[in-house]
Amino acid sequence: MTTSSHELFITGLKNAHAMENQALSIMKPQVARIESYPDVGARLESHIRETEGQIARLEAILDSLGADRNSLKDMALSLAGSFAAVGHTAAPDEILKNSMANFAFENFEIAAYKSLIALAEAGGHRETIPQLQRNLDEELAMADWLDQNIEAVTLKFASLKEAGETAKK
């Protein structure tokens, strides 16, 4: 691997590490607030656990490549701003906006891992691919779950809203 593509791979891994920390900060407040959608809450809860495992895998890969861990914190802070718009706390339809934003975020993660795997394949870091593939598979499964559930969540939201409005009258 040339120096520059090695650096690109390391930078990509650090970006993925920051992305996963951002994923936690997006999902955790949602889980804390969800009341009427227990299946969404349960899936988010399990993806939070998965995400913690993903972070551990990325750290193990970075360590195996002798990357400097000190820069990870700065990257996390800089990425936080770029996804600030993802939180929709306090919007009356926050469950819908969050469902859409979560689907977008999972697809961002899928693209990130596909990119990392391409770099690993091209640049002689094939030993890291099984770990990256495991992260990718979890993102694909989460994106698929969100994809399968958006209609049901929307219709439940609509019926809860209707029931709430009926109750008021």
Q: Is 20 in the site for Fe ion (CB under 5 A)?
A: no
109 binds Fe ion (CB under 5 A): yes
Q: Which part of the chain contacts Mg ion (CB under 5 A), choosing from 54-62, 77-85, 111-119, 143-151?
A: 54-62
Helix crossing, 38-64 with 3-33: angle to 10°? 160
Nearer to Fe ion, 114 or 126 (CB): 114
Binding string, residues 76-115; x marks residues near Mg ion by CB under 5 A:
---------------------------------x------
List C-alpha distances in Å: 131 to 51, 56, 101. Answer: 13, 10, 26
Q: Write the DSSP string, 6-59.
A: HHHHHHHHHHHHHHHHHHHHHHHHHHHH--S-HHHHHHHHHHHHHHHHHHHHHH
Amino acid (one-letter) located at 47: H
Question: Going residue by residue from 23 to 42, which x/- string records binding to Mg ion, judged by CB under 5 A?
Answer: x-------------------
Question: Using CB under 5 A, which of 139, 146, 153, 157 touches Fe ion?
Answer: 139
Residue corresponding to tokens 């109750």: 167
Q: Which residues bind Mg ion (CB under 5 A)?
A: 20, 23, 51, 54, 109
Q: Which residues bind Fe ion (CB under 5 A)?
A: 106, 109, 139, 142
